[in-house]
Amino acid sequence: QNAPDVTKEVLKELEKLGVNVFLATEFKSFFGSADHIEYCDIENSLENSDIVITVGGDGTFIKSAKESAEKNKPLLCINAGKLAYLAGLENSELSFLGDIVIGNYKTEKRMMLSATIIDKNGKILYHSNCLNDAVVSRSGNIRIMNLSISCNNAPLMDYSADGVIVSTPTGSTAYS
């Protein structure tokens, strides 16, 4: 099955459970109108929700983790494909959504990275939070960079390299 088909099944299950759903406006053409669905921008969807549910695979979960963490919302990923290590439910387990409605679930806290790239003059070039890893590399010509790595604002190491990957336990499995 694909994500839109699984999402339709999730929406049906949530309707049976009497749950109000907030979806990003961009999805209205996929899922249409229903009494229990309110379409709004992603910011309002996150603000108004008690829990964030994503449908997809690990990539979808990782992208959504950043947004839900910023709003301090728990996140559940429902697998829409063949394999998703980070999914909390398979698409055949949608009946378990009822447990979430009554509060019968546990959350798992995961380490996240806050990565900032600062030039030698102290100007912030890039900042992002991430669940799996932060990758810094040159685009175009690959040549050596001088890197100063800090952790919690404390200098960690200086070295020359063509890039660096910093990974959380969630992301480290891809590099083992």
Question: Catalytic positions, please?
Answer: 58
CA distance 77 to 61: 6
Q: Residue 83, Cβ neighbours under 10 Å: how many?
A: 8
Q: What is the DSSP string of 138-171?
A: -SSS---EEEEEEETTEEEEEEEESEEEEE-HHH
CA distance 137 to 78: 32
As to burial, measured by CB atoms within 10 angstroms (0-12 exposed, 13-18 middle, 19+ buried), residue 170 is buried
58 contact partners, CB below 8 Å, separation of at least 6: 77, 84, 85, 86, 87
Q: Is the dihedral of CA 100, 103, 105, 110 positive or negative?
A: positive
